[in-house]
Structure formats: structure tokens, C-alpha cells
Copies of this chain bind each other. A is one copy, B any other.
Amino acid sequence: MGIIVQKFGGTSVGTIERILNVAERIREEKERGNEVVVVVSAMGKTTDQLVNMAKQISQQPNKREMDMLLSTGEQVTISLLAMALNQMNLPAVSFTGWQAGILTEAVHGNARISNINTEAIQKQLSEGTIVIVAGFQGITEDGEITTLGRGGSDTTAVALAAALKAEKCDIYTDVPGVFTTDPRYVKNARKLLSVSYDEMLELANLGAGVLHPRAVEFAKNYNVRLEVRSSMEKVDGTVIEGEAKMEQNLVVRGVAFEDEITKVTVLGLRNNLTSLSTIFTTLAQHHINVDIIIQSTTEDGTTNLSFSIHTNDWMETLNVLENNKDYLGYEQLDAENKLAKVSIVGSGMISNPGVAAKMFEVLAEQGILVKMVSTSEIKVSAVVEDKNMLNAVQALHEAFELGQHQ
């Protein structure tokens, strides 16, 4: 008998009926003899509705008050779910972030968990009570309510699993696991039985979307065994742990992709030691995330720099660079929209130098021009025009034999 942490996302608890369905899943886990801690998100579109109310008051609502507002969403879900379990004669108690002892740093909107005081949860578990914890929220040392930002409920679940030394952490979602690529676009995409933390990090970062990278990182650091599984169907999901147990012989494990990428090019950058760090520090100060970075130095000693950003940040990036033109010291700016990133991911890649070559060969065969390239130990990414994205994904999925075996 051990502790199991179960996390159910907003879609899984989107209606009263689904909350009752979730209560059944919890009952099953409890009846297996486990101590159960459940983390839930706000119901369906609740968070969007709350944000919408705030935006009617202010385009930039006070961040402390935003956390106060948003944290009510999860509080509604935990109470309803605890009611449902009590109605089924399963003793259950709901805890807000602060009641669960989830301490965070003093940052509103995007706080990191600094510590979890599990005393209150342990006490309830020892009495056989199921503990339902509000995801996405915590409290500072000064008693201020904070939220954890995007993917916050995943992070809450993993952090609790780590703090409670749980056997595993099950992330229930609206898809049955992690796939070789998005099954909505590639028909014979296959569910992976297991992936490593690093592979999951790349897949999550690259838009697979089922699990937030912060949560995967947390799980990796504390060696928490994760399983992504369906809240609707009762089938095995995808296990995420130190080493992927199955399919070790496969070099490429999945194809990830995302669109709405913009490539920004800075031409004629003054070539000195600090020019690069100055540019990216300036962008970071404006909370602009930069992904791929490519630098080339011409014969006359000036540097051209290209980097990719989310298209949402395009206008602000150009504004920031233009406003700092003298300080940054460059000649000209250029930007290209309507791009997408396609990546192949797999732990085995490091020992297979031919993988990148094969990727470019496949793309060339499809007549797809590669605009930027980025490689890491477990992935190769290519930026292409977004109209070619799905074509590239399908061709790569086929070429690396990721589809279901017939």
C-alpha cells in the first residue's frame, strides 16, 4: 500500500457529470488499497471566464488580485469533487493550496513552489481520507495567495508526489497518452508505452501539449514516476521515467511540431564580445522567449544573427530592438512570419549521427526548404514554412517507421 497522486485537468472535470466520473476513477484507486491524493484544475472554461471578467475591468489587472481571482476556479472543483466522494461514502476532504501547505516564492502569476509542508495531508491520509488538493495555487510566507502559471496543476501534482514520496503520479487528461505525433493530423500515430523524462521534455516543449515542461522537469529532478493516461477510457497510458523501458532500439521516438513561429534577423551586428548577451538580455527583460538562435560572422567582421520567437511576440520584439538600436549597435532588422517548427525526438539519437541527415533528406524529397536548424542530444528541429508543416510531419513519421504496426 502506497501513496498515489492523481491529477485531473480542466476538461476531465468540466461538468458535474465528469466530476462524478472522476470520483469513480478515484474510488477504483482507493479500493486497490492505496492512499490517494488528487489534484484538480478549474472546471472547463472557468479560468477563461474569470480572466474575461478581469479584462473588462482592466487590460492589465493587478497581479496579486488576479491570483486571488483565478484561485477560486480550482477551489470550486475541489469542493464539488469532495462532495461527490463523500456522497459515495468515501471520506474525502478538500484542501486549497494554502491548506495543503504548498509554499511558493513571492511572485504573482507565475510563482515557483519552494516547499510543501505535508503534515495536514499526511494526517488525513493516515485516517484513510482521500485528499483533494487545488492545483495551480500556493501561498507565500506572508500569507499571500499565488498561482503557478501555465501547467501549474501538473506541477502541483508532481511536487506533491515528490514531497509525499508517492509511488507514482498519474496525469489524467483527454488523450490516452503520449503519441509518436499528433494523431489528429497523422492517422497511424502510435501511443508510446514509455518515454524518458528528457524525451518527454522535448515532446512537451515542442507542442505535444499533454504535460507541461515544468512538471516534467520537476519529475526528473525528484525522480517521480509519471503516467499520462485517459480520464475517459480505462487503458494504460504512457509511463514517463528515467529510462524508457520499451522500444530502446528505436532511434526516433516521435515527431513534434508547432506553428506560429517568426524568424527575426539582425543584420550588421557590431562584433564584440557582449553584443549577443546584450540582445538576449534585453529581450528577456521584456519576457520574450527566444527558441532557436543562429549566428554567422561575415568576412568583413560583422555578425548576422537570426532567432525564432512565437509570432505573438513579433511586434514587441521589433519594438524592443528598434528602441535599443543605438545601444545594441546593428544596421538592419528583418522578420519572417508564417513559419513552423518540426522536430524529431529520441534518446537514441546521440549515438546515431545519420539521423539528422536522414531528416533533411526526407524534407528535401518533399521539396520543403529548411529555414533554420537546431539540434540537441535528443532532438533535431527544422524551421519550415507553416504550409509545409503537416506534410513534413507525415513524411518524417513515415520515414522513421513510427506508425502502428499493421
Question: Which A residues form the contact surface with B (CB < 8 A)?
Answer: 16, 19-20, 50, 53-54, 56-58, 61-62, 64-66, 68-69, 71-72, 75-76, 78-80, 82-84, 86-87, 93-94, 96, 99, 120, 143, 145
| Residues in chain B near residue A72, CB distance under 8 A | 72, 75-76, 79
The interface residues of chain A, by DSSP majority, are classed as: helix
| Residue in contact with A16 in the complex, picked from B53, B64, B99, CB distance below 8 Å | B53
| Closest 8 pairs (CB-CB, A-B) | A69-B79, A68-B79, A72-B72, A58-B87, A62-B86, A65-B79, A16-B56, A65-B82
A20 to B72, CA, bound (A): 21
B66 engages A54 (CB within 8 Å): no
A238 to B60, CA, bound (A): 39
A57 engages B76 (CB within 8 Å): no
User: Known: A16-B56, A56-B16, A57-B20. Is A62-B76 also a contact (CB below 8 A)?
Assistant: no
Number of copies: 2
User: Known: A68-B75, A99-B143, A143-B99. Is A57-B93 also a contact (CB below 8 A)?
Assistant: no
A57 to B82, CA, bound (A): 10
A58 to B85, CA, bound (A): 10
User: Known: A53-B16, A57-B87, A87-B58. Is A69-B76 also a contact (CB below 8 A)?
Assistant: yes
Return A42 CB to nearest CB of chain B, in Å: 10
Return A96 CB to nearest CB of chain B, in Å: 8
A65 engages B86 (CB within 8 Å): yes
A48 to B262, CA, bound (A): 46
